[in-house]
Each structure stands twice: as structure tokens, then as C-alpha cells.
Structure 1
Amino acid sequence: MECTGSRIILECLKEQGVDTIFGYPGGAVLNIYDALYSFPDIKCILTSHEQGAAHAADGYARATGKVGVCLATSGPGATNLVTGIATAYMDSVPMVAITGQVATPFIGKDSFQEVDITGITMPITKHNFSVRRVEDLPDIIRRAFAIAKSGRPGPVLIDIPKDVTGAKYDYKSVVIEEKKDNSEISENEIKGAVEAIKESKKPVIVVGGGCNISDAKEVIQEFQNKLKCPVCTTMMGLGAFDGRNPMFTGLVGMHGTSASNKCICESDLVIAMGARFSDRVTSNAKTFAKNAKILHIDIDEAEVSKNIKADSFVIGDIKRVLEKLNNKLEAREENEWTKFAYGLINKDNSKSVRVEPEESVNPLYVLKKLYELTEGDAVITTEVGQNQIWATQGYLYTKPRTFITSGGLGTMGYGFGAAIGASVGKNKMVFDIAGDGSFRMNCNELATVVRYNLPVKIILLNNSVLGMVRQWQDLFYEKRFSSTTLERQTDFVKIAEGYGALGIRANTNAEVEEALKKAIAYDGPVVVDFYVDKDAMATPIVPPGASIENMLTLD
């Protein structure tokens, strides 16, 4: 049938199973928004800002495993997506960003609201397309989705001039079949991995973000059962291994647990799965796992030996690789290494959070109480900073895709938009763990959650400072608190109420439980403003340049 370019775009989105678009209208995409009237099965969530739309599409993708879609107009609309696209790129999130562009006769003439968005986003997308003919639209959209979700996922941008969205072409629908990953996994690489594992006496598993992407939780558990070894995770790997498992040591690296970092230092084989060995994991790369060999399993060959030299590796999807390894490995008995790890874990777990009822709110107490009240069955998003670290420490993640954070880019303002996308995608309550600095960057999205009555609960750990930066100034800059004390006198409860959400305030530990219960029971969006002392720190922390075994605990 003959269709306009706008209708072709939406028909192709339907082919891909898209049920939600996050976006903001403008002149260059008016034809697309007009065509949306004829597509009631595709929800269009109007955010308050294009960056919020990008973060929402990202959060939707992480929570559901499907491709997230965002839509923005040309010029500033497109450039407002850039931070969200970069965030998705750094964390390997499948996303398709559609931007409007000025009509083709005006391209390259410094026209009103014209930018070269494909040039701008080239370094932060898996691929991008500049469409010039309506005839090319169906193939480009289908290719964009295939690229976004294949192999190591990532964002793809499609830039479409306004006249292309209005032009007509004979569209033919196709049925999109989900393609299974049939890429070959080298038997020689599998053999080398098996030999490395059999030779090791003190292996440790590092679960990275690729394990969440691969939905590899069950095969990882089977793998651990065979090796009887400790398991730690990167921040992006949380949830891919059950946090309640007695051999789970917790987070590794700069803000890792003592158990995780000591296991890495004592190990003779580090089995890294879907992890990129970022500086936040390794700290001083020269001293990282200096007594161990490295077995790296990853879908992206470019990651192997990029930051830490691998002694052996297997290239392929984590789940498929582990299925092969599990078939070739015999189960071990618990041994001295197992007992050593148990001892470290038990020592870490014995450090309970002790609070005085009338003192200012302890952030870890908030997270532990939230875990208790939700029984661990919640999706958690975070902003970036101390709030992010406390969220990794106080809440136990037992299922994949339940911890959503900006790991690679460290984007302040990410968590609220991501919570919107996760809530829409999963149709359930989502908690955004936020600091007041990050929340001020995206609190305009309160208008979005109120309009759609989304059960998004902002857990605001409000210390009136830029907490993590101030913490570094305290520890490493001789307490020169340059531009990190906010002194804004902002009343977040009134802001919440002004937008139409419920605002709750808790000044002491004694008020925490009741505030959380009230937020959970409320049918709609909530901001809970917890007063946190400005000197509260997220520890332990590895000083810059130090080995991960040299942790500051400040106990």
C-alpha cells in the first residue's frame, strides 16, 4: 500500500514489536506525531525534556530486554538526546533514537534548527543513518533494530528529513523473526578455558553487565556450583547472580567489599564474564589480580586484553559459552578456598547497620529497610554519586534487570528518566535512589510521572551537597569544599506537591520505616525527602592510584 514516510516509520516499528515511544514533538517530526493518531497500539510517552526521553528509552530497554525507542525533533531536540545516547552506548543498551531533520533542500545551509546529528553522534552510536529517500526508510529501520540488538547491543540513530516523512512510497509489510545467535564459538577457546579452570585451585568469578544482557543467571549458578568458588560482580552485573547466595562476595573494585577485593587479590584465576575491567573495577591496573591468571569471556573481542591482559579467553554470548563449559566441567568439592571465601563473606556480613533513632537518616538503613519492605521484589534505578554506591550496598539484588544505573558514563540525572521507562516497560513500581544534586537535574520529569500516574518513587537521600565530589574533597583535597556545598534551600516536598505528586519528609531514622510504607502504599508517584548528614560517606573506597586491597573503610 502507498504510505507516507511517517506511516512507514510507524508500520516498521509495529513490525519490530514496539509498543512504546518516549519523545517530545517539534516541527521536523510533526508528520510522525500526526501519524501516531492512527496507531493506538503504540503508546507515546511525552517527557518533559528530550534527555528524559532518551533515559526512559534506555531504562525501558534494560528492564525488559527489548529495544527502547525515543523520538525528538531536529536541532536542539536532537542534541538534547546526546547524553542519553552516550549513556546507552557506554552500557551496551539496545536503543533506536529517531530524530527529525530539516527538509532535504535546506540541509547544509545553516537552516533553522539544523544540526549534523549523525556527525555529532558517530562516536557514541553503534551505527547511525541519515535518510534521504522515502524508498530507503523500511530497510533502514529494520537494519537499525537488527544492529541495536545483535551481538553486543547498543544505540542506533536514524535522522529523517521532514520532507521524507511526508513523501509517499509503496510500503510492504514483513514479519520480523527473532534471530537466534548461531555464531560459532571456538572449540579451541573452550578447551583453553577448561584447562585454565582445571589447573586453578583458587578461582573467582567476576559477573559483569554482559551477564544481565545475556540473561545468563541460571547457567552462572550452575557454573558456580561446579567450581564451589566465590562470585563477585561489577556494578553492571548486579542481579545476574543471586545476592542471597552464600558464596556471593558483593561488589568488586573501588567501592567493592573487603571480601570481593581480597578474593581477587588471593585468587589464582579470575574468570571475568561480560566485564570490561573498567578503572572503577581494577583501580591500579598494574596491581590488579597480580597473583592470578585471567580468563575473559565476552561477546566483544575488542574488550579482551584492552584493559587487563587475558591469559585465555572465549568470544561469544555468555550464556552459550557457559553452557558449553558446564558440559565439560566436573563438580568440585568444597575446599580450603571455599572456606576462605566463606570466612571473608561472614566477616563482611557481620557489619550490621547500627542507627540511633533520633539521628539524621542513615542511607544504608533506608536501603536495607526498603529491601525488607519490598521483600527484594522491586526494580531499582539510581542517579550517580553516593546514592548509587549506597544502593549497591544496602539492597540485595536477586534477579536480572532489577538494578538499573549509569555505570560507564556516570550520568547525573539518569535515574528518574530510567525509572519512567522501567515502570512503563515492566508495569510495576520502581524506586529511583537519588541524591539532591542529581534530582535537581531531572525533577522536571515529575510532570511526566504525574501525567501518566506512574508508580515511580523517588528515594531522595538529601544531604544538601554534591556528596561524592565533596567526599573526594574531604579525603583527598584537604577538605577544600569548592562548589560542592549547594545551600539551595530547596523544599523538595513542595516541589513534589506543586507537580501533583505526593511529598513525604523524614528527618530521622525513627521516621524512615513509616515514610517508606506510606510511599509504597500510595497509588502514584512519590518523592520521599530523607535528611542525610552532609558528612555521611559512601565507604569503603579505594584511593586513586591504589591497589584494590588498600581500601579506606573509615569504620
Structure 2
Amino acid sequence: MSEQITAGQYLVKWMEQMEIDKFFFVPGESFLHVLDALHDSPKIQAITTRHESGASFAADAYGKLTGKPAVCMATRGPGASNLSIGVQTAYYDQTPMIALIGQVPTSIMQSGAFQDVDFKSFFGSISKEVFSITSVEQLPGVLRQAYWLACNGRQGPVVITLPTDILGSTLYGALLPKAPGLAFSDQENDIACSILEKIRQAEYPLFLSALPAVRGEESQLLAELASLTGVPVCGAWRRFSSFPNDHPHFIGSVGLGSPKVTSDAMKQADCIIGFGQSMEDIAVSGGSLISDNTQIIQVAKHIDSGSIRRSGNSILHGFIASEKGVLSALVEICKEDETLVKNLREKNRPRTASLREQFENRFNNDENRTERANLNLVFNEINKVMEKNAIVTSDAGNFAHWLLRYISFGGERVYLGPVNGAMGYGIPSALGAKVSLHNRPVWGVAGDGGSMMTVGELETIARHGLDVTIVVINNGIFGTIQAHQEKQFPNRHFGTDIGNVDFGKVAEGMGWKTWRINSNDQITSVLNEVVSEKGPRLIEVLPDVYPLALS
């Protein structure tokens, strides 16, 4: 490419070159040159959301599903501030993302001009890097660097600010950049041998999976490794679909609301082998799920220094390497050493079988209440009718305890959720998931608090005619916060009431088909009717009153 084009046009051509085919945004006058260039692009689907947080949450979902960055964009000042929650989510969750900000003209930057913000300071602690373009010649190199940063090492969001006069400036003869590669450690065999020796020495070894939500070769290798060694496997916090839940060695996912058998197994483990960001704070409950002197092994392309702090008095062995490469080496070594595999299986399989049996029987003591809808029954029935290849997105909130307990991620099911606990994620992430993998069924689950924060994206989903099912659990309170209040200040709830919101009527006003479940005898019939329909569908669940859970 050697023609003379504006920076705005170059940016769009770069997206096409890099096969970034989704652009989530709220329009702003600071980047009209980009919008004009998108008008002529047959390859990029530009999706106008109703709030900048919806744009960044949708981009995060896209990144989680595809492993490559989408682009989200907002205008300066307030628009960028609104975008920031999804940027922080991508940073904490380690999701690749390119976040673009239309900036004031270069001549008035840092002058206190209308909507002028120091974005380096604003985004600095919640992104991998913030680039402020001050000349059009910088753009090609910055885009190349930004893409590399977003995708490699500790994946995450990169922010680029683009002054409106730069976007309108001409680039002469610039070549479109290509994505650089990155080589990881070639010591996989040495790492694998070290891990197998730790497993051999351990009495209660445990694998912890924080691999990608869309199960790929890494997950297949871990499943094979578990079968070869007899070791049980836990999913990490909100990495529920990173390992096949129907595998005979899977014993549940750790985190808020995890089954007792899962938490107990973590506490008992004297050797925890984690793949990916397995030492995340909630996954190990700040370190309280790890016993003293436990041998912890973490294999990841990036290891956060906080892992050391959360390991307490245990011994952390961190290996910065390709998870796939190390898993491949582990499986290969096991296959070549029949004696090792035989001994490991004989030692580990009886315990693993017992843990799996306890996990499968974890619902035996569930109560079936009769007032309003029982969430045990609701989520158990959703699990039965939900498609085996569904993508499930969820908000943060107390309701998610039941999702973790009842929704199984075997087959091709995928789970996407905000590891950082961001509210408002459920609805826009369902949007991002559906436009990413449009042939897959998508279910979004949210509480009433999170739904109120991004309810406008129901209109975006309806406008695009997307086949999405949203489940809203409407109990009229901020459940997680009220649970904390009840624990610290019993019977002194304050500020946690949401009010009487009819989400069915709200959704109907935006073109959705809606249903309401407010008693147990409605659950099966409503869900069967919902799955027989197409298009945007919303189920409002009025749940029974449960003891609020924090575990």
C-alpha cells in the first residue's frame, strides 16, 4: 500500500490487514475520520453500542473467545471514562484488546481544553501500555507495537489516544504492519521432568486449570495428562469452561460459591500444578485455600508477582513458558514411561474417583422451596435445556453461586465471566459473544443490579437481530453487598435496595420476547418454550428468598 491516505483510513486498513473484524464503539466527534473510513469497509462489522462500557465489555468477550483483540473506541473525556471499566476488566482478566480514544487536537492537549484528559495517567494502571500519538508518522509503528503487547506475554488491553487532527492527517507511502511473532522457553522437557517429580513425591497432587475459556489443544493435553497420572483437576475462578466438566477427573471450579468438595481438595493438596493464571486472588481465596508448605507450580506465559504473596508459606515454582509446550512434553514423557504412569495411576486414581463421586452428588441435600422460584431448580433446569455448544456469559453477583454449582461445561460449552468482578458485564458480553461466534447459541445471565447498569445493550442486540437468551435474576437488591452487610452489620441493610423493576416490560419496549418465572411450576414449561423460539429472548426470574452466600 503506497497511496496517500488519512490516518483514519490507515487505521481501518490496518484492522482489515490484521483480520480484526469487529469494532465496538459509541460515536464521537473526535474520530469522525475513522467512522468515515469504516463506512467503506466491507470486512469490519462496526457495532454501535448504547454505552461505552458496553463497547469495552463486548470487546473483552470477543478477545476471550477468539484469543485475538477486537477494537473498541470512545471519544475523549467522559466517553473514555465510561470505556475504562471494560479496559480494567480486560487488564485483570488478561484479555487482548485494543482501546482507541479520540483525543483533542494536538495544539490544545494538556491545556485544560474541553474534555482534555491526561490519558497516560488515567489508563496507566489498568492497561499494559498507553500510547499518545502526537504525529501521524508514529501511527504504523505504534499499531504494530500495540498489537504485539496486547497478544503476547501477559495478554491485556493497550490504549492508543488519537488526536482528531492526526486522524485527518495524510500518511504517505506507509506499509501496513504485520504481527510479529514471539518464541517462548525451549526448556519444556526440563520443566516437565521437574513437574512429574513433584507429582511423584506428592500425596495429594492437584491440577488447577486457568487455560482459555474456549477449550483447545492445551485443555485436551491437560485432560490426557490427568488420565495418565490419575490426578484430579479443578477449574480456576471464572475459568469454568477451561477444562471439560464431564471429564472423570474434574472435581469442580474454585472461587465464590464453589462446592465444598472442591474447596476441601484445594486445602488438602500438598502439590498444586497450575496452568495459566491459576494463582488469581479469588481462585485461591487470597491464599487461604493453600496449606502451609504446599508445593505450588505455575506454568504461564506471564507470572504475576502477586502469586508469590498469595502463596503464603508455601513454595512457589514459577515457570514462564508456553502452557501448550509444557503440557505436550508432560504427556510425551508419560507415554514413554509405562512404569511411571502405572505407579502414578495406582496412587492417585482411588482418591480422584472418590472426589469425583462427591462432586457428582453435591446436590443431594438441596432444599426445594415452594415460594417463588427456587434457584437450585431454575439453574438445574437451565443446564438440562441449554444447548451443548452454548456460550454462557454472566455478570458479577450473588446469583452466580448457582450458575457455578449447576451449569456444567462439558461438550463444547464455553463460559465467559469477569474475573475482576465487574458488574454490567452479562448483557454486553452476550452481544460480543454472539457477533464473535454467530453460529453458536448464547445465554447471558445477570442479576438485576448488573442488568440495570448496561440494560441499554438490549437495544443493540435487538437492532442486530441476534439470537440471544438473557436470564435476569430479579430479587430487588444488590445481593452480594447485602450479604456483606448482613455479615458485618446484621439487620442493618442500607443502600442495597434496587426497587421494583419489570425487566420484561423494559425488554419488550426494545423488541424482545419475554417470559417471567415466579414459581417452581413455571420453570420447565417456560424454559422449554424459550428454547423453541428464536431471536432476542429474555427470562425474568423472581427468586425465592435465600440465605445470602459469601463462601
Counterpart for residue 521 of structure 1: 532
What is the DSSP-based 3-state SS (H/G/I as helix, E as strand, rest coil) of the residue aligned with 1:80? helix
Counterpart for residue 236 of structure 2: 234
Counterpart for residue 401 of structure 2: 389
Structure 1 position 53, deviation (Å): 0.3
**Which of the residues 59, 62, 65 maps onto 1:63?**
65
Which whole-Å CA distance do the structure 2 matches of 1:312 and 1:392 have between them?
A: 29
Query: Can you list the C-alpha shifts for 1:88-122, whole angstroms capped at 9, x where unaligned?
Result: 00000000011100111111111112112232001
Which whole-Å CA distance do the structure 1 matches of 2:320 and 2:411 have between them?
A: 25
Unaligned ranges ≥5, structure 1: 543-555
Say how many residue pairs are matched: 538
CA contact (8 A) 1:211 1:273 kept: no
What is the DSSP-based 3-state SS (H/G/I as helix, E as strand, rest coil) of the residue aligned with 1:499? coil
Query: Can you list the C-alpha shifts for 1:264-294, whole angstroms capped at 9, x where unaligned?
Result: 2332311122134233233363672336322
Structure 1 position 419, deviation (Å): 0.9
Alpha-carbon distance change, 360 to 380 in structure 1, aligned in 2, over 3 angstroms:
same
1:367-406 matched pairs, under 5 angstroms: 367-398=379-410, 402-406=414-418
1:144-293 matched pairs, under 5 angstroms: 144-174=146-176, 176=178, 179=181, 181-185=183-187, 188-209=190-211, 216-283=218-285, 285=287, 288-290=290-292, 292-293=294-295
TM-score after normalising by structure 1: 0.91
Which whole-Å CA distance do the structure 2 matches of 1:210 and 1:506 have between them?
A: 33
What is the DSSP-based 3-state SS (H/G/I as helix, E as strand, rest coil) of the residue aligned with 2:342? coil
CA contact (8 A) 1:263 1:341 kept: no
Structure 1 position 320, deviation (Å): 1.1
CA contact (8 A) 1:96 1:157 kept: yes
CA contact (8 A) 2:395 2:424 kept: yes
1:293-442 matched pairs, under 5 angstroms: 293-303=295-305, 304-308=307-311, 309-329=314-334, 330=337, 331-332=341-342, 334-335=345-346, 337-352=348-363, 359-398=371-410, 402-407=414-419, 409-427=420-438, 428-442=440-454
Which whole-Å CA distance do the structure 2 matches of 1:50 and 1:281 have between them?
A: 29
Which whole-Å CA distance do the structure 1 matches of 2:362 and 2:197 have between them?
A: 38
Identify the range of structure 1 (58-67 vs 251-260) with the bigger mean alpha-carbon deviation.
Answer: 251-260
Identify the range of structure 1 (234-243 vs 173-182) with the bigger mean alpha-carbon deviation.
Answer: 173-182
Q: Give the aligned residue type for 1:200.
A: A
Query: Can you list the C-alpha shifts for 1:141-195, whole angstroms capped at 9, x where unaligned?
Result: 1221111111221000110000011111124444736736444336554443232
Q: Give the aligned residue type for 1:362.
A: N
Which whole-Å CA distance do the structure 2 matches of 1:434 and 1:254 have between them?
A: 16
What is the DSSP-based 3-state SS (H/G/I as helix, E as strand, rest coil) of the residue aligned with 2:373? coil
Determine if the alignment matches structure 1 residue 73 to structure 2 residue 72: no
Identify the range of structure 1 (47-56 vs 205-214) with the bigger mean alpha-carbon deviation.
Answer: 205-214
Which whole-Å CA distance do the structure 2 matches of 1:253 and 1:497 have between them?
A: 35
**Which of the residues 20, 39, 42 maps onto 1:40?**
42
Counterpart for residue 545 of structure 1: none
Counterpart for residue 86 of structure 2: 84
Alpha-carbon distance change, 305 to 210 in structure 1, aligned in 2, over 3 angstroms:
farther
Alpha-carbon distance change, 215 to 111 in structure 1, aligned in 2, over 3 angstroms:
farther
Structure 1 position 364, deviation (Å): 2.9
TM-score after normalising by structure 2: 0.92
Alpha-carbon distance change, 175 to 275 in structure 1, aligned in 2, over 3 angstroms:
closer
Counterpart for residue 120 of structure 1: 122
Which whole-Å CA distance do the structure 1 matches of 2:165 and 2:79 have between them?
A: 18
Structure 1 position 385, deviation (Å): 1.2
**Which of the residues 471, 476, 480 maps onto 1:459?**
471
Structure 1 position 51, deviation (Å): 0.8
1:4-43 matched pairs, under 5 angstroms: 4-43=6-45
**Which of the residues 108, 111, 117 maps onto 2:110?**
108
Unaligned ranges ≥5, structure 2: none
Which whole-Å CA distance do the structure 2 matches of 1:434 and 1:42 have between them?
A: 29
Identify the range of structure 1 (290-299 vs 335-344) with the bigger mean alpha-carbon deviation.
Answer: 335-344
Share of identical aligned residues, percent? 28
Structure 1 position 413, deviation (Å): 0.4
Identify the range of structure 1 (144-153 vs 42-51) with the bigger mean alpha-carbon deviation.
Answer: 144-153
CA contact (8 A) 1:12 1:142 kept: no
Structure 1 position 375, deviation (Å): 4.0
Q: Give the aligned residue type for 1:230.
A: P
Which whole-Å CA distance do the structure 2 matches of 1:307 and 1:212 have between them?
A: 27
Q: Give the aligned residue type for 1:395.
A: I
Counterpart for residue 496 of structure 2: 484
Structure 1 position 357, deviation (Å): 8.4
Query: Can you list the C-alpha shifts for 1:58-80, whole angstroms capped at 9, x where unaligned?
Result: 01111222212101111111111
Structure 1 position 401, deviation (Å): 7.8
Alpha-carbon distance change, 252 to 286 in structure 1, aligned in 2, over 3 angstroms:
closer
Which whole-Å CA distance do the structure 1 matches of 2:282 and 2:288 have between them?
A: 14
